[in-house]
Amino acid sequence: MSEPVLSVRDLRVEFVTRRGILKAIDGVSFDIAKGEVLGVVGESGAGKSVTGSAVIGLIDPPGRIAGGEVRLGGQRIDNLSPEAMRRVRGKRIGMIFQDPLTSLNPLYRVGEQLVETIQTHTNLSNAGARKRAIELLAEVGIPAPERRIDGYPHEFSGGMRQRVVIALALCAEPELIIADEPTTALDVSVQAQIISLLKRLGREHGTAIMLVTHDMGVIAETADRVAVMYSGRIAEIGPVRQVVQTPLHPYAKGLMGAIPTLVQSSDDRLVQIPGSMPRLSAIPPGCPFHPRCPHAWDRCSRDRPDPIQHAEHRVACHLYDANDPTAKAHMIHTHAPLEEGVAS
Amino acid sequence: MHAPVPAPAAPPKGRLARFLDSDLFYSFRTSPMAILAGTVAALMTLAALLAGLLAPQNAFDPAALNLMDGYTKPLEQGLGSQGLFVLGADAQGRDILSAILFGSRLSLVVGVASVAFSLVLGVGLGLLAGYVGGRIEALIMRIADIQLSFPAILIALLVFGVARGLIPPHRHEEMAVVVLIIAIGLSNWAQYARTVRASTLVEKNKDYVQAARLLGISPLPVMLKHLLPNVAGPVLVIATINLALAIIEEATLSYLGVGVPATQPSLGTLIRFGQQYLFSGEWWILLFPALALVLLALSINLLGDWLRDALNPKLR
Amino acid sequence: MSNAPFVEVKDLRRVFDVSKPWLNRVLEGGEKQYLKAVDGISFDIARGETFALVGESGSGKSTVARMVVGLLPPSGGGVTIDGVSMADAAQAAARQRLRRRIQMIFQDPYASLNPRWRVDRIVAEPIRAFDLIKGEREIANRVGELLSLVGLHPDDGKKFPHEFSGGQRQRIAIARALASNAEFIVCDEPTSALDVSVQAQILNLMRDLQDRLGLTYLFISHNLAVVRHMASRIGVMYLGRIVEVSGGRELFQAPKHPYTRMLLDAVPDIGMTGRQRVPVNGEIPNPINPPSGCPFNPRCPFANDRCRTERPPLDEGVACHAVHERRIDVPVAA
């Protein structure tokens, strides 16, 4: 396999507050290959958005990157100067956020913003850049781009704005696109359009995409691999089909069972994980999931689980530690569906 | 039936414990400016309240004055009473320190009372305008607009003049302080009304207000119990800053001679008396009351600035 | 179950005046503009059932919810609950008694609880408002009971809302809704602000409470999977109208209206069955200038001239000319 586009190793992000240091990201490692879509999924507070911000060097004080490495195409980028990082962000990493209006200047025509971005990264003439902008708008599926290019952002609907933002992110032909909840603000019918657009662009341009979202459905539709985050760590990472259909980590299992779907019988109760994700100020020792875990034993509250390779998954759970006899005893249960195990 | 829910993680805290642990108190503790301003304002207020006990002399009692002490310089003994005059004495032999203590008491009373008056009026009208809307809102807010286009001191002068016309002359002296409070209060309510109306418009559409309406709770309790506690924050900041302004406004009015009567001098009155001696060498008669006024207004103002920053999450 | 439906909504309408201010209209020209947020919808809810309204943003579903509970006066049509009209002035006294039995759960648990009130005061508010229980100690006991019922600890009542997570706050909101012994609860997107694992807890809790207390729900959501999990009957809304209404199972197995089909197709497929999907066209039009005829006609692959001019009535549970004319085949529920 060739070198990954993005390689993150043992990334740590901390927030310094008066009540102590909060570990928002605590040792996260993953790779994204060329043309691959990595879904990063988790509930609010899991650290998925912070991970995205850390990769593009957008952690503002009181936050700071406290350790680890981020490599883009083999080059370390986590220790670049803010100026150099800004160039990397514009040129080599494209960004798509939840609210398209944060990325678009309401006072400028869409075309002006596209042309300006294209010209900062290429030496195209005005006419050439405009031609390229129209091509991009056409590529992201905006009808009549020759006419729409002179519109202002407020003249576009929500879905169309998000398409413009995607076109903007594509201007510099980046190696990596970070999309943070790109479909969350959109209606279901529009969401599906944006998902398929992202998927197609990743395939055609060979762009690596890091797709951060809380929506497992979007991940299942779009991603090649998925990382499930919990309390600032990756609980499980693996090919999307395996993780969604046969998750290993008890949290991932609970999460998949908790999602109401269009196929299961509506008489079934949803699997529920008791409690909620701990606040950053109160992350329990050992495995952060152990207070909510139906399989936890004493080791889980003591030792922090390291990621273990298990078939195609990497899972941070003591259950899959082949050398632990207690884990073996527990494994028998885990092959039964988790289901009501947690409900009383 | 459903998943076992963990018992409450931490026992509920008491009021004091919550305050000591709050972000607001932390912000106070870590801001030297706030601590300094707070200390100065607290000490001056305390000294003013205890003027009767602390002052070497009852400055308002003509019987306590000794004309022989007149023009005593600071830190010298008076010729008549042989007492020490720390900040000197004026022409009548009145101890300046005592006059400042009694004077700032009056200034503070007028300031606090007028702020309280405009607070009640402005918050009440702002809540009403924001919650009820329609013509009542339009009426209240247009009056506020008109008033805000005049300087506060002009409004206060106008109210003062009208009130003096209405009150029989023999009662002018005793009513002077009340009239002053109302005049300053009426000149400042519009700011509160504007701020409160704006926050009320935001809060009234929140679902907790809808939930209360759903229970059939009538508008007045909704405004007082639900909205008021949630719109009070920014008002507190304005009130603190306005306290400093009200004290200065009172001093200005008294300086102009339309404020409190000469028998009950406030800081403004003291400054008015003192300025006649500015060029004749008795500088202390003017300087110390003026310094006291500046110190009091400045410390309260700085406290208000700090409070505004501490309560504004965007600046943190 | 009695014959008359518990909740009856008839030809409900709501028009909002979205014109610019008077002065701007005079100076800049332009006419008054009206937004038909809800444009004549009717449905019934039987006692003890869950009826869901599902739709995308701008469909008017939340406006319906607010009119049903009486927070927003309708511009036309009416709501009758247990035989009492929500608008008839003659029934004011009966409506006042009815109020206790209707409650609402809101979308944002961060906004639906007064941040300056302790939880016990919040939950006790309906009890005090309707004067249901006498004596502070008795009220406190009842609040403790309610908090336990929704899976919280009775001692949690002494805390403030900000000390709770989103899911716990929604539990508090449910406890408040139950405090007046409500029978009919309107739930406006109750879980869309919550994480999935917490959403599952709240949905399960709501179903358990329905079984235990015989509650009737009007469930408003944009999430088809959630609606499918909760509702026995479902109305699909588009631009202020109900375009299809049917039993939960049928709607998902045999959707009739082209919009329903499109919506079902658009839901991300977490089962990864690799099903073939019809591409979705366009976006919801501006509700200030809705298309004439059938509101869905500009996005509909089956639209013809009649669809563009004549508004289809809701007949056999679906408002679509193409279905009525049998121009498109209607799948049959298995």
Secondary structure (DSSP) of C237-271: EETTEEEEEEEHHHHHHS--SHHHHHHHHHS--TT
**pLDDT range class, residue C234, cuts 50, 70, 90:** very high
pLDDT digits (tens, 9 = 90+) for A14-35: 998 877 889 999 999 999 999 9
**DSSP string spanning A200-248?**
HHHHHHT-EEEEEES-HHHHHHH-SEEEEEETTEEEEEEEHHHHHHS--
C-alpha to C-alpha distances, C166 to A7, A225, C176, C202, nearest whole angstrom: 34, 29, 15, 11
**Residue A336 pLDDT > 70:** no
> Which of C96, C116, C208 is facing B229, going by the closest CB pair?
C116
**pLDDT range class, residue C1, cuts 50, 70, 90:** very low
What is the mean predicted confidence (pLDDT) over B9-30? 74
Residue of B248, B234, B223, B246 whose CA lies nearest to B129: B223
Residues of chain B contacting C114 with CB distance shorter than 8 Å: 208, 226, 229-230
Beta-carbon contacts of residue B66 (< 8 Å; ≥ 6 apart):
B78, B80, B81, B93
Q: What is the pLDDT of residue B315?
A: 45
Q: Do B3 and A18 touch (CB under 8 A)?
A: no
What is the mean predicted confidence (pLDDT) over B199-207? 92
C-alpha to C-alpha distances, C287 to A154, B305, C261, C292, nearest whole angstrom: 16, 46, 21, 11
Collect all residues from B whose CB is shorter than 8 A from any CB in C: 1-3, 5, 7-8, 11-12, 206-208, 210-217, 226, 229-230
Q: Do C283 and A191 touch (CB under 8 A)?
A: no
d(Cα C265, Cα C262) in Å, to the nearest integer? 5
Length of chain C, in residues: 334
**pLDDT range class, residue C275, cuts 50, 70, 90:** low
What is the mean predicted confidence (pLDDT) over B214-218? 90
Q: Do A344 and B6 touch (CB under 8 A)?
A: no
- Chain A to chain B Cβ contacts (< 8 Å): 20
CA angle B2, B6, B7 (to 5 degrees): 120
- Which letter, b or e, does each residue of A190-200 get, where b requires 16 or more Cβ atoms within 10 Å of its Cβ? bbbbbbbbbbe
Residue of B156, B145, B159 whose CA lies nearest to B191: B145
CA R_g for chain A: 21
Query: At A240, phi and psi to the nearest 5?
Result: -60, -40
Residues of chain C contacting B1 with CB distance shorter than 8 Å: 208, 212
Residue of B62, B60, B61, B80 whose CA lies nearest to B71: B80
Query: At C19, phi and psi to the nearest 5?
Result: -65, 160
pLDDT digits (tens, 9 = 90+) for A260-307: 887 766 567 888 888 888 888 888 999 999 999 988 888 999 999 999
What is the mean predicted confidence (pLDDT) over B29-39? 90
Token pair of C188, please?
A: 């406006």
Token pair of C257, please?
A: 């209206």
**DSSP string spanning C168-188?**
HHHHHHHHHHHHTT-SEEEEE
HSE, CB side, 13 Å, CA atoms: give it for residue B208: 28
Q: What is the pLDDT of residue A335?
A: 52
Residue of C76, C81, C84 whose CA lies nearest to C36: C76
pLDDT digits (tens, 9 = 90+) for C114-141: 999 999 999 999 999 999 999 999 999 9
| HEC per residue, chain B | CCCCCCCCCCCCCCHHHHHHCCHHHHHHHCCHHHHHHHHHHHHHHHHHHCHHHHCCCCCCCHHHCCHHHCCCCCCEECCCCCCEECCCECCCCCEHHHHHHHHHHHHHHHHHHHHHHHHHHHHHHHHHHHHHCHHHHHHHHHHHHHHHCCCHHHHHHHHHHHHHHHCCHHHHHHHHHHHHHHHHHHCCHHHHHHHHHHHHHHHCCCHHHHHHHHCCCCHHHHHHHHHHHHHHHHHHHHHHHHHHHHHHHHHHHHHCCCCCCCCCCCHHHHHHHHHCCCCCCCCHHHHHHHHHHHHHHHHHHHHHHHHHHHHCCCCC
Minimum mean pLDDT range among A328-332, B251-255, C309-313: A328-332
In a domain, B68, yes or no: no
d(Cα A12, Cα A55) in Å, to the nearest integer? 11
Interface test with B, best of C116, C127, C162, C164 (most B CBs within 10 A): C116
Q: What is the pLDDT of residue B5?
A: 44
Q: What is the pLDDT of residue C89?
A: 73
**pLDDT range class, residue B296, cuts 50, 70, 90:** very high
**Residue B210 pLDDT > 60:** yes
In a domain, C279, yes or no: yes
Cα-to-chain-centroid distance, residue C267: 19
Q: What is the pLDDT of residue A267?
A: 66
d(Cα B274, Cα B71) in Å, to the nearest integer? 11
Residue of A83, A310, A72, A90 whose CA lies nearest to A210: A72
- Alpha carbon dihedral A329, A334, A337, A339, in 10-degree steps, equals 90
Minimum mean pLDDT range among A38-52, A261-275, C215-229, C283-297: A261-275
Which phi-psi region, left, alpha or beta, contains residue C183 (left: φ > 0; alpha: ψ -120 to 50)?
A: alpha
Q: Is the dihedral of CA A167, A169, A173, A178 positive or negative?
A: negative
Q: Do A344 and B1 touch (CB under 8 A)?
A: yes
**pLDDT range class, residue A334, cuts 50, 70, 90:** low
**Residue C49 pLDDT > 60:** yes
Q: What is the pLDDT of residue B297?
A: 93
pLDDT digits (tens, 9 = 90+) for A194-246: 888 888 888 888 899 999 998 888 898 889 999 999 999 999 999 999 999 89
- The domain total for chain C is 1
Q: What is the pLDDT of residue A343?
A: 35
Query: At C73, phi and psi to the nearest 5?
Result: -75, 135
d(Cα A134, Cα A125) in Å, to the nearest integer? 14
What is the mean predicted confidence (pLDDT) over B75-90? 77
d(Cα C185, Cα C55) in Å, to the nearest integer? 19
- Report which secondary-structure segment, H or E, holds C98: helix C92-99
In a domain, C122, yes or no: no
Q: Give me the interface pTM, i.e. the ipTM.
A: 0.87
Q: CA of A344 to nearest chain B CA: how many angstroms apart?
A: 6
Residue of A160, A122, A158, A155 whose CA lies nearest to A141: A160
Residues of chain A contacting B2 with CB distance shorter than 8 Å: 272, 343-344
Residue of A176, A171, A168 whose CA lies nearest to A72: A176
Q: CA of C153 to nearest chain B CA: how many angstroms apart?
A: 6
Residues of chain B contacting C208 with CB distance shorter than 8 Å: 1-2
Beta-carbon contacts of residue C194 (< 8 Å; ≥ 6 apart):
C109, C166, C167, C170, C202
Beta-carbon contacts of residue B42 (< 8 Å; ≥ 6 apart):
none
C131-160 residues touching B, CB cutoff 8 A: 151-153, 155-156, 158-159
C-alpha to C-alpha distances, C6 to A315, B269, C211, C234, nearest whole angstrom: 51, 75, 17, 16
- Which letter, b or e, does each residue of A298-330 get, where b requires 16 or more Cβ atoms within 10 Å of its Cβ? ebbeeeebebbebeebbbbbbbbbeebeebeeb
In a domain, C288, yes or no: yes
C-alpha to C-alpha distances, B158 to A134, B107, B155, C222, nearest whole angstrom: 66, 20, 5, 59
Tokens 């336990």 belong to C148
pLDDT, greater one: C28 or B185: B185
Cis before residue A62, ω within 30 degrees of 0? yes
What is the mean predicted confidence (pLDDT) over B244-256? 89
Q: What is the pLDDT of residue C315?
A: 87
Token pair of A31, please?
A: 């790779």
- Report which secondary-structure segment, H or E, holds C221: strand C216-221
Nearest Cα residue in chain B from C115: B230
pLDDT, greater one: C24 or B127: B127
Token pair of B29, please?
A: 């503790």
d(Cα A14, Cα A65) in Å, to the nearest integer? 6
Which phi-psi region, left, alpha or beta, contains residue C216 (left: φ > 0; alpha: ψ -120 to 50)?
A: beta
**Residue C216 pLDDT > 60:** yes
Residues of chain B contacting C156 with CB distance shorter than 8 Å: 8
> Which of A18, A291, A343 is facing B26, going by the closest CB pair?
A18
Token pair of C181, please?
A: 């012994």
Residues of chain B contacting A343 with CB distance shorter than 8 Å: 2-3
Q: What is the pLDDT of residue A289?
A: 94
In a domain, B18, yes or no: no
Domain residue spans in chain A? Answer: 247-342
What is the mean predicted confidence (pLDDT) over A310-338? 76
**Residue C333 pLDDT > 60:** no
Q: In what order do the strands lie in the sheet with A6-17?
A: A20-32, A6-17, A63-72, A75-76
C-alpha to C-alpha distances, A322 to A305, A311, C108, C245, nearest whole angstrom: 13, 13, 45, 54
Q: CA of B225 to nearest chain C CA: how many angstroms apart?
A: 9
**Domain residues for B263?**
83-311
Q: Do B2 and A342 touch (CB under 8 A)?
A: no
- Name chain C's partners: 3 or more CB pairs within 8 A: A, B
**Residue B313 pLDDT > 60:** no
pLDDT digits (tens, 9 = 90+) for A171-198: 888 999 999 998 888 888 788 888 888 8
Q: CA of B218 to nearest chain C CA: how many angstroms apart?
A: 10
> Which of C198, C222, C229 is facing A188, going by the closest CB pair?
C222
Q: What is the pLDDT of residue B8?
A: 47
What CATH number is attached to the domain comprising B299?
1.10.3720.10
CA angle C143, C148, C151 (to 5 degrees): 130
Nearest Cα residue in chain C from B4: C151
Q: CA of C128 to nearest chain A CA: how many angstroms apart?
A: 31
Amino acid (1-letter code) at residue C250: E
> Which of A274, A282, A291 is facing B3, going by the closest CB pair?
A274
Please check whether residue C116 touches B, CB under 8 A: yes
Residue of A291, A300, A277 whose CA lies nearest to A228: A277
Token pair of A206, please?
A: 């060979």
Q: Do B2 and A344 touch (CB under 8 A)?
A: yes
What CATH number is attached to the domain comprising C45?
3.40.50.300
- Name chain A's partners: 3 or more CB pairs within 8 A: B, C
**Domain residues for C294?**
7-101+183-324
In a domain, C163, yes or no: no
C158-197 residues touching B, CB cutoff 8 A: 158-159, 173, 176, 180
d(Cα A124, Cα A121) in Å, to the nearest integer? 9
Interface test with A, best of C162, C169, C196, C283 (most A CBs within 10 A): C196
Residue of C240, C257, C280, C246 whose CA lies nearest to C55: C240
Q: What is the pLDDT of residue A264?
A: 65
Collect all residues from C whose CB is shorter than 8 A from any CB in A: 56-57, 165-168, 195-201, 203-204, 207, 222-226, 228-230, 248-249, 252, 262-273, 277, 279-280, 283-284
Q: Do C196 and A255 touch (CB under 8 A)?
A: yes
Q: Do A275 and B6 touch (CB under 8 A)?
A: yes
C-alpha to C-alpha distances, A303 to A287, A299, A300, nearest whole angstrom: 7, 6, 6
Q: Do B214 and C102 touch (CB under 8 A)?
A: yes
Please check whether residue A105 touches B, CB under 8 A: no
What is the mean predicted confidence (pLDDT) over C87-105? 86
